[in-house]
Structure 1
Amino acid sequence: MKFFRYFLIFLTITFTFSSCKKETENHWKTEIKNPAAKVEVTDISKELYDQNISLEQFKQKYPWFQGTVSDEDFSARREDEGEQKIYKEAIAKIDVAKLNRELTDLFSRIKNYFPEFKEPKVFLYSSALQSALDPIFHQQEQNFLFIDITGFMGENNPNYKGMDEYWQKSMNPQNIVPKVSGILAEYFVPRNADHQKFIDELVYQGKIMTLQDAFLPDFPDYLKMNYTQKQYEWALGNEANVWNYFVENNLAFSDDTRLGERFIKPGPFSKFYTEVDNESSPQIGIFTGWEICRKFYSEHPNTKLTDFLKMNAQDIFNQSNYKPKN
């Protein structure tokens, strides 16, 4: 069967079908019995650019923030009008009260499944776009979580001129919490170095996305994938076509490491090497792994999450009975 033989003809029909796909009961929407402490984010840059706060006062309060930058250069950055302007524009996009509530709920849900989880202290800051493409950092030793607000100024923001468009699609304020959740989810999903086939990578990514479901049951799926709504609809509507392509080209159980570059890593689209590439959603392998894991849970809904995370990819795949149909 030729992959996506009738794609261009039936694209509209596919989108309509996927948009109307019946919603299933949310397996992960559970009551939180022991909520985390209320989150109150700290805006470091608000104090950084406040000239009423001396450099010495700032350094005493945040001794780790300056890094190896000299006092002279650090003072110059504090007074830089361009950097101040970027900060003010970025922070104006953030609903801090809403962010506090959503992070509190996120941390509460993580603790619900992993009682040993210690919620991090959360800091907002402006890197003046220097780390906008990698805006979430968890410092494990001190359990600090840093959010660079210049990474969430909104798609097509003039400050993002020159950045690839595919990065910008997830650089909106609504992407903050899903990205934080994704970073934290990785700590609970160990990699198995002995398993190197593509199916292992698919299921590994699917496990992380399953945690996204558990941690963010009220968030739309497209945000969990860093997709736009249109990209998510494409992935849903072409799920069977993508899986058929993997199977027919002997990719599902291949040990070709280049498949990660084609179907896992960020990019403008996935690389099938067909005429449909430019229309496809990026990182489709992550979506496929997610659907495999979702199918597993539809077959085995009572599986404890911690037990599921320990299972190997082959067992999850076999027990999922994953065979998507158009």
Structure 2
Amino acid sequence: MKKTITYFLLLAFSFVLFSCKKETENRWNVEIKTTEPVKITDISAAFYNDKIPFQNFKKDFGFFLAPQVPDATYEKKRADAIEKRVYKDALNKNNLANLEKQLAALFAHIKYYFPEFKIPQVYVFSSATELYEEPILYVPNKGVLFIDLSAFLGEKSEFYEGIDVYMRKEMTPQNVLPKVAETIAADYVPATPDHNKFLDKIINFGKLMILQDAFLPETMDQYKIHYSKDQQSWAISNEENIWNYFVENDLLFSDDNRLDERFLAKAPFSKFYTEIDPKSSPRVGAFIGWQICRQYLEKNPEVTLQKFLHLPATEIFNNSNYKPKN
């Protein structure tokens, strides 16, 4: 009888552990009951349409034009054969009907966590790669979202000559949705102007990544952090080594702003100042901050997303009991 009771206690304990683990793993797989359709307006379709007089385009999309730029300059751009080719390729690489469905799902997830979120009017256009560094513009108080499709042609695009290779890695159609999610998520991460320690910064990046987990539960991690497959594999394999370097060099509570450029900024690789640098993944500080935040939420499943976003970095770190995964 005693053995039987022990067996059932163990079984029950295992069930609880499994249930908790399953709940943690599925934290972001929420049921979305309503999804509002998204209708994309393609500004460049009208801009490059020879049958539409420029003054008519200007009447409909004057908000898109820079007032200091003469009409003659825009007229010249409309007739530019290469710009038209870039736009055509952008449409071929980015299916707008599919993007509308993806954005509808994304917006529904954002609204699930932030009911006050207003679904923006979405505009796409082609800048002929001029705006590749900042291809997403979100203006919440105006209720608009702009997406430059020419920044998502694929890293081997013929039109990306002269753009750094490390930048091209994230200029793929798979990165459109994560870029949009990241841009909107930045609006929900509270600013911490009085906290300039490295730990504060990596945790803030971690919060941004957690929001992407919540907004894009079915998207692969490598796209959320804008890594190539190899960069993602390197970061995962070297998580313990990265963490040890931060700890052994007393970086966590450092206020040295040069650490931003070394471990948080967009770059071809991170800068440990060792021979491994060229092989390393960029932005490993953001990657580590993400893992700390994930472990905090795994250990504290009762904490809501909204409350988590407002927690101090030191509280998240201390209560995460962070240990790099081997």
Q: Same fold (TM over 0.5)?
A: yes
Q: What residue number does 2:134 align with?
A: 134
- Whether 1:263 aligns to 2:263 is yes
Deviations 1:293-318 (A, max 9, x none): 00001101121100000100000000
Question: Partner of 1:210: helix, strand, or coil?
Answer: helix
- Whether 1:106 aligns to 2:121 is no
Alpha carbons 1:263, 1:282 under 8 Å: kept: yes
**Higher Cα Rg, which structure:** 2
Question: Partner of 2:146: helix, strand, or coil?
Answer: strand
Q: For the residues of structure 2 that align with 1:143 and 1:321, how far apart are their CA atoms?
A: 40
Deviations 1:109-163 (A, max 9, x none): 0000001111111111011111122211113342211111110011021111111
- Whether 1:87 aligns to 2:95 is no
Q: What residue number does 2:61 align with?
A: 62
- 1:33 deviates by 2.9
Alpha carbons 1:123, 1:145 under 8 Å: kept: yes
- 1:325 deviates by 4.8
Q: What residue number does 1:319 align with?
A: 319
Letter in 1 for 2:39: E
- Structural RMSD (CA): 1.2
Correspondence 1:1-326 to 2 at 5 A: 25-35=25-35, 37-68=36-67, 69-326=69-326
For structure 2, the 5+ residue unaligned runs are: 1-23
Letter in 1 for 2:60: K
Q: What residue number does 1:10 align with?
A: none
Letter in 2 for 1:83: E
How many percent identity over aligned positions?
Answer: 47
Q: Which has the higher contact order (CA 8 A, sep 6+)?
A: 1
Letter in 1 for 2:123: F
Q: What residue number does 1:6 align with?
A: none
Deviations 1:254-295 (A, max 9, x none): 111111110000000000011111110000000000000000
Q: For the residues of structure 2 that align with 1:282 and 1:66, how far apart are their CA atoms?
A: 35
Q: For the residues of structure 2 that align with 1:234 and 1:115, how far apart are their CA atoms?
A: 37
For structure 1, the 5+ residue unaligned runs are: 1-23
Alpha carbons 1:26, 1:217 under 8 Å: kept: no
The TM-score with structure 1 as length reference comes to 0.90
Letter in 2 for 1:89: D
> How many positions carry a matched residue from both structures?
302
Regions of 4+ moved over 6 Å: none
Question: Partner of 1:64: helix, strand, or coil?
Answer: helix
